[in-house]
Structure 1
Amino acid sequence: MSKSARSRATEPVRLTDPVTRLAGVGERIAAQLARRGVYQVADLLWHLPQRYEDRGTVRPLASVLPGDSVLIEVEIVETRVLRHGKARQVALGQDDSGHITLWQFGRFGELLQTGRRYLLFGEVRVGAQGLEMAQPERVQSAALESILPVYPSTEGVTQARWRALIAEALTVALHELDELLPTTGLPPPLQIGALAALQRLHAPTRALGVPDPTDPARVRLAVEELMAQVVAVRAQRSRWVRQSAPVFREDSAFWQRLLADLPFSPTAAQSRVLAEILADLRQPHPMLRLVQGDVGSGKTLVAVGAALHAIDAGYQVALMAPTALLAEQHARNFARWLTPLCVPVHLLSGQMTAGTRRDVLAALQAATPAIVIGTHALFQEAVQFARLGLIIIDEQHRFGVHQRLALSDKGALPQGEGLRPHQLVMTATPIPRTLAMSAYADLAVSIIDELPPGRRPIKTTLLRADRREALIERISAVCRAGRQAYWVCPLIDASTQIEAEAAESTAARLTEALPHLRIGLVHGRMSAAQKQTVMAQFQAHALDVLVATTVIEVGVDVPNASLMMIENADRLGLAQLHQLRGRVGRGSTDSYCVLLYDEPLSDRAKARLALMRETQDGFVLAEADLAQRGPGEVLGTRQTGLAKLKVADLVRDADWVPLARALADQWVAENHPGIPALLQRWVGVGQQYGQV
């Protein structure tokens, strides 16, 4: 052994050391631990148990639920040796509250004996005769047993290895773990230090019992983690607002001319939100504002108002949409309103000719005040803005924090001005309050909570999938009245794994059943040009019925469409169903949405579909969706910008989010010296919020 190696071997292990410093951890084990995000000794501390095995408390059979790993005490009332199959013996055990079937496998070991009582530990399942336990482990004395943590694992790392490594990490933490939050001045559940909380969760005692989600130890760590998430996003905002931005005038001649030409007046909610935006645009630092508005609430007009104030001040505006289809629709809407004002509207898409593209790029580089609309193509190196003053991002959650801030870097004005563009992000996906307080803590939030006059509620009904033929006459009647219909299917092709209707087979079936109607088909495997052609035909009423996958979920605006059918509605989340339903009800006529479902329905699916029928409030549906599916499914973990939470749960810990946010704001305001350690502990070295 070299002198330096001997020196390292005698040095005490530190939390920042690689896990290879721990006994028995070589390169192979280290690689396996890395699959679970464990690289340093400190990472072991935050690798928390997913459940516990209470081997010291005897549970009556009547209290046991399937999936529980429990200690039971039973008398064997019947045994039967098996001659065929993998099992050696099956036995029937009972206590005062019930009975259980016990299966024993393997060639060795003593078989359970009729008439004897045993302490047995194992996982309980449901079998043909009720509760079952396979290969029960015999326990000599409950008094000698303990509560064992069970960790999320990976191939090659046993539970015994996890427990040993984490015990060693806890020993290191005794001398090294910093207490970042005080234990005084906080609510009672938080009056426990981080080290004590970790000891409680990793090594629970019989005296205190099994930790549950309300345990002060878990709550203490969850609040610290939520605080770290908010600090990370707040810190990004703090860096952002310290930069300079162009200051726009309070009024715009372009906007006043547009208002005079509109055949309607903006709603009170639209006027209020635009006033909030304009107040930001008059500040010398960049605006960061999120506008939430339910489907059809008029977000586009608000965006036009903000854009015209930037144009009037001599700046360029970039609008980024998540799909080419939506970008093209925005370009048409903006052009319809702004061309009479002689305001240039450019579309930057993959389908344009090379010559047209060169003209658009040249206009942007010439500092001509204009609006350019595109998808993520706006990030391309060739796209250079000479005087970008405002960025508008539609359906922000489909891009993610990196892309939102990267476009701002591209739009930074030349050194002579040293200015950053303002940012306005919009979404028709209502964001639950808890999620907005953490994932969008860097944004000021405005809500358009009013629909334009004349918009009628959409009548939602449920229909069993085997009755879908009853819809044929309904479609025919709607189209005879001059209206149009959507039929949405989750898949493109039929699948043997998932019993879902395929768009292609549905289109073929409708074409055969309704030969007098014009049926169109659009799905994600079509090229952008093909999708654009079909959608243009539907918008021009050259098609009566559009069969589609969920590619039409966002932004498609066809006021003449009044009937929406959604196949396999029980498989979709509430937010997605709400978005799809919002494709109708955009005109002045009565509109309908039919949710088709397969039986049997789970209780959860029944409740979800019933809620769709009962309410059209997107925020009510968003809260329910978050409670059922979690933030990663509602908006996508990558899109929200949230790091993967280790301890906290945004649904379970919703009541603690305001406290975590208040603590975070206090730390950011004070520029607290503990911020780097807090971010290192919970967000990690990546700190994606600050790396853009």
Structure 2
Amino acid sequence: MRPSVLDPLFAPLSTLPGIGPRTGDFYARLLGRESVEDCRVVDLLFHLPHSVIDRRHQPGIALSPQGGIVTIRGHVDRHQPPPRGKSQVPYRVFIHDDTGELSLVYFRGKAQWLEKSLPIGEEVIVSGKIDWFNGRASMVHPDYVTTVDKEEEMPLVEPVYPLTGGLAPKALRKAIIAATERAPELSEWLDPELIRRQSFPSFHESVMQLHFPRDAADADLQTPARRRLAYDEFLAGQISLTLVRRKLRKAAGIPVHATGNLSARIRQALPFSLTGSQEDAVAAIVKDMAGNDRMLRLLQGDVGSGKTAVALMAMAAVVEDGGQAVLMAPTEILARQHFETITRMTAAAGIGVEILTGRNKGREREEITARIASGEAQMIIGTHALFQDNVSYHKLRLAIVDEQHRFGVHQRLSLTAKGAAPHMLVMTATPIPRTLVLAAFGDMDVSRLTEKPAGRQPVTTAIVPLERLGDVVARLKAAIAEGRKAYWICPLVEESDVSDLMPAEKRFELLQREFGKAIGLVHGRMSATEKDAAMLAFKNGDTRLLVATTVIEVGVDVPDASIMVIEHAERFGLAQLHQLRGRVGRGTEASTCILVYKSPISENGQARLKIMRDTEDGFVIAEEDLRLRGEGELLGTRQSGTPGFQLASLEAHGDLLEIARKDAALMTERDENLESERGKALRTLLYLHRRDEAIRFLRAG
């Protein structure tokens, strides 16, 4: 049960002033939740300011610096509305002080409101950013306007929060102040020595200091208050990982005694031999599974490094000992592809392979689940359908999860609950920097595949501005005429009012005029059958150019596709660009990736595209992505069970993660069920950070 002291923080967000049916969706979007019903007061409490506006600087108009935020006390001289019918001309209000004149500029300004707020002849106080042009000072849309008699009400130091369209800063600030009023004083969960060493304030003091800053320095990521909250978040994460790991380890693993018979037959039938790092990974996995403890291993392999072959060898070892193995993929496309590959590779060994996805219905589904329950199905490949309640296994000894970042910890648990504590192998093609491995997978041993299989060609990457799209199309036409295959990736499915990006459907129509029947389309809104048909046509060569959204990012394997065009590449994360590029260069042909960007492009955007051009090493790319963008986006969305931290930044607070990991390990070792004084306070911390699933693993809770 969540301690009652946290009840005020877990009240629905709609209990705060100004949050109703009309604004609820904006708050949900701002806080990264599905709907306002999922939002709690604590979410707003943890929505921290990114900077501070200091209005104490009052130099006078003439002495105001270009681009500086200043506060001006002046007299209103005149209003200059735009000429009738010319709404694009701004509304101007002119004020003066002893040093000079200032023009306040309002685009689409409402005359009635401006006349009331800035009455002619009155003394007013305005605050905002100063611009100088031809010796004249202006202030576009001042942040703050008030009359002198209300000067006391103006906040001199004001926090600036991340916003979303539709939310006004004033309304958000009002709701956040109301949220801070509900923040209780909580028992201390941190070690006193750590508090002393790091000069950490209490939880309550930290929250108050950040939401009510005294100067700009208070918004810095390295203030003790911010570091304190970052450490709390790391610690909650590490304790819950430790508890999950303990739960998973508790049920002793059943040792797997591999004979090597089936593996040898599979190896003979493979058209390639395993690389050194694949052999190392297989050896580590077989050794782990032979012990009494359950294996929990993360297999990190760059795009095209041959993770499927490693998974197959692990599954074969289990089948040799009379057990079953499952391989779970995040999408139907990927599951079916694994099924085809593995069926082909195991044909010589006579192993029973099944596939189970949400698409299997009625009689067909019953027959498949019966074969799984009887043990006739020895290797089972599928999607989330593999761990639904009505699927039971004969002797499940190994569970493999592909693309881990699409599954949360609780899904790993529900899959492992299926067998008598099966061993667990998690695979990801997203190269994850070490700090992130600790944060997301602190409960796992790690194997890395560092070589590309023999025969794989390097991919040449080019960066091209959108203005030269005609050249790209001409090159594609020539390549397709030679019998080559290409992907064309767009960031959106259909046109939207809020975006100037080219949607896949529109690009498909435009390219169809050039390529006729040789072009196909695949995106996430199509049904599974439509997607499969489009992919099959491309694979078989009925279509030669496939226009797609990022639905093809993970795992799609068409070895003879050798050209990848990514439109609006500046809008994609590095990890995603790397994943997409990995769809080509899978055969023996030299391959090309063309990154098309729209000008103007930011320095950060340029840096990202250059990294893509200069290296194919996924781990270098991942470290750079972490440096340039922070970890929140690195592995996809926040809801995906990955550490998109709210309060902590791995870049700024990485040093605290290692301390939190050791602290969590030591604490759970000394006080297994968190029953001491500090242990009870730590339970509160877990609830505070919505780590309820971890608490369920405590015997006494």
Please, what TM-score do these two structures have when normalized by structure 2? 0.81
* Separation in 1, partners of 2:693, 2:656: 22
SS in 2 for 1:285: coil
Deviation at 1:216, TM superposition (A): 1.6
* Separation in 2, partners of 1:442, 1:63: 55
2:252 to 244, 248, 251: 244
Retained in 2: the 8 A contact 1:192–1:216? yes
SS in 2 for 1:447: strand
When residues 44 and 508 of structure 1 are mapped into structure 2, their CA distance, relative to the original with a 3 A threshold, is closer
Q: Which residue is equivalent to 2:312?
A: 304
Q: List aligned pairs for 1:550-565, cutoff 5 A.
A: 550-565=550-565
When residues 158 and 435 of structure 1 are mapped into structure 2, their CA distance, relative to the original with a 3 A threshold, is closer
Retained in 2: the 8 A contact 1:563–1:591? yes
* Separation in 1, partners of 2:575, 2:369: 37
Deviation at 1:138, TM superposition (A): 6.0
Q: Which residue is equivalent to 2:620?
A: 620
Query: One-letter code of the match for 1:298?
Result: G
* Separation in 2, partners of 1:394, 1:56: 55
Deviation at 1:366, TM superposition (A): 0.8
Bigger shift: 347-356 or 220-229? 347-356
Retained in 1: the 8 A contact 2:492–2:549? yes
* Separation in 2, partners of 1:20, 1:554: 37
Bigger shift: 149-158 or 578-587? 149-158
Retained in 1: the 8 A contact 2:65–2:130? no
Bigger shift: 27-36 or 584-593? 27-36
Q: Which residue is equivalent to 2:95?
A: 91
Q: List aligned pairs for 1:372-411, cutoff 5 A.
A: 372-409=380-417, 411=418
Post-superposition CA distance 1:155-191 (Å, at most 9, x none):
997856854774x657x63xxx322223435684345
When residues 464 and 31 of structure 1 are mapped into structure 2, their CA distance, relative to the original with a 3 A threshold, is closer
Q: List aligned pairs for 1:663-682, cutoff 5 A.
A: 663-671=663-671, 673=676, 674-681=678-685
Query: One-letter code of the match for 1:439?
Result: A
* Separation in 2, partners of 1:620, 1:139: 57
Percent identity of paired positions between Structure 1 and Structure 2 = 35
Deviation at 1:147, TM superposition (A): 4.1
Q: Which residue is equivalent to 2:110?
A: none
Deviation at 1:589, TM superposition (A): 2.0
Indicate whether 1:254 and 2:254 are aligned: no
Post-superposition CA distance 1:218-250 (Å, at most 9, x none):
112211221121111221111111112221125
Retained in 2: the 8 A contact 1:430–1:618? yes
Deviation at 1:541, TM superposition (A): 3.0
Deviation at 1:464, TM superposition (A): 2.3
Q: List aligned pairs for 1:435-446, cutoff 5 A.
A: 435-446=436-447
Query: One-letter code of the match for 1:201?
Result: L
Q: Which residue is equivalent to 1:415?
A: none
When residues 640 and 357 of structure 1 are mapped into structure 2, their CA distance, relative to the original with a 3 A threshold, is closer
Q: Which residue is equivalent to 1:80?
A: 78
Retained in 2: the 8 A contact 1:184–1:191? no
* Separation in 1, partners of 2:190, 2:690: 23
Retained in 1: the 8 A contact 2:485–2:563? yes
* Separation in 2, partners of 1:685, 1:221: 11
Bigger shift: 320-329 or 626-635? 626-635
SS in 1 for 2:116: coil
* Separation in 2, partners of 1:476, 1:88: 54
Retained in 1: the 8 A contact 2:240–2:686? no
Q: List aligned pairs for 1:201-600, cutoff 5 A.
A: 201-205=210-214, 210-249=218-257, 251-351=259-359, 354-368=362-376, 370-409=378-417, 411-412=418-419, 419-495=420-496, 497-514=498-515, 518-600=518-600
What 5-or-longer segments of structure 1 have no aligned partner?
1-13, 413-418
2:127 to 122, 127, 139: 122
Deviation at 1:385, TM superposition (A): 1.2
Q: List aligned pairs for 1:31-180, cutoff 5 A.
A: 51-56=51-56, 58=58, 70-72=69-71, 79-82=77-80, 89-91=93-95, 101=104, 105-107=114-116, 120=125, 122-124=127-129, 131-132=139-140, 134=142, 136-137=145-146, 147=157, 159=173, 163=177, 166=180, 173=185, 177-180=186-189
Query: One-letter code of the match for 2:568?
Result: N
Retained in 2: the 8 A contact 1:641–1:689? no
SS in 1 for 2:620: helix
Indicate whether 1:184 and 2:185 are aligned: no
Count residues with an aligned counterpart: 653
* Separation in 1, partners of 2:10, 2:617: 53
Deviation at 1:627, TM superposition (A): 4.2
Retained in 1: the 8 A contact 2:92–2:104? no
Deviation at 1:398, TM superposition (A): 1.8
Retained in 1: the 8 A contact 2:562–2:591? yes
RMSD over aligned Cα atoms: 4.1
